[in-house]
Chains A and B, each alone.
Chain A
Amino acid sequence: EPEVTQTPSHQVTQMGQEVILRCVPISNHLYFYWYRQILGQKVEFLVSFYNNEISEKSEIFDDQFSVERPDGSNFTLKIRSTKLEDSAMYFCASIGVGAYEQYFGPGTRLTVT
């Protein structure tokens, strides 16, 4: 069964450093998302992406964040200068055309020290 994959599973970085989180959505899906979950809190929407541009973004998704689909398979989330409060689990999700359910990857746990 096709699945969304994410790498790395765990990333530790120092405050102020740039990180790139990678996702490979399900191959025939066209809509992509990033969500985050701070430890013990609910899952929060960050950004949605379709046709090589951002469809919607939340207030969390400020200028420090960017997304990119550099090729036909990868979808990345970049945080330019990480802060302590960026420590969270980051989930990538994708959805097929005409479908309603989003399929989530296993997540990347980002720890900022």
Chain B
Amino acid sequence: AQSVTQLGSHVSVSEGALVLLRCNYSSSVPPYLFWYVQYPNQGLQLLLKYTTGATLVKGINGFEAEFKKSETSFHLTKPSAHMSDAAEYFCAVTHTGTASKLTFGTGTRLQVTL
């Protein structure tokens, strides 16, 4: 069974500040990990993914995440927040092998203030 825990349902940062959104996973097999972003009244857009290989993965809009197996974490970061980053962010896990269902975390709403 897989599960995802996102610490902090709401995160507020100032424009220009570091963004750190936390994600911890539980999986009995090697995981594939994803971050999706949901803007208000829109669908889910893939930000980045980790499958195999390099543990630091870069995504769109300047976001990146690092897979740390020892910590079972996949935290999302961005060096400098922009107002347009305000959205809901979901971490998701699936197990190795394509076409498996995604298990999502409860999401973190990112607020960016001036």
Contacts and interface: CB of A to CB of B under 8 A. Distances in A.
Interface stretch (A11-19, A38-46, A64-72, A79-87): A38-46
Contacts of A76: none
Contact of B99 (A31, A42, A105, A107): A31
Contacts, number: 54
A33 B105 CA distance: 18
A104 B43 contact: yes
B67 interface: no
Contacts of A27: none
A97 B99 CA distance: 8
B8 to A, nearest CB: 14
A75 interface: no
A44 B104 contact: yes
A105 B43 contact: yes
Contacts of B111: none
Given A42-B106, A100-B51, A104-B44, A50 B99 contact: yes
A103 B44 CA distance: 8
Interface in A22-72: 31, 33, 35, 41-45, 48, 50, 55-56, 58
B90 A42 contact: yes
Interface residues of A, number: 27
Among B44, B90, B99, B107, chain A packs the most CB atoms within 10 A around the CB of: B99
Contacts of B99: 31, 48, 50, 55, 95
Given A43-B44, A91-B44, A107-B43, A48 B49 contact: no
Given A101-B46, A107-B42, 19 more contacts: A31-B99, A33-B101, A33-B102, A41-B106, A43-B90, A43-B92, A43-B102, A56-B101, A91-B43, A91-B44, A93-B102, A98-B98, A100-B49, A100-B94, A102-B102, A103-B46, A104-B44, A106-B42, A107-B43
Interface of B: 32, 34, 36, 42-46, 49, 51, 90, 92, 94, 98-99, 101-107
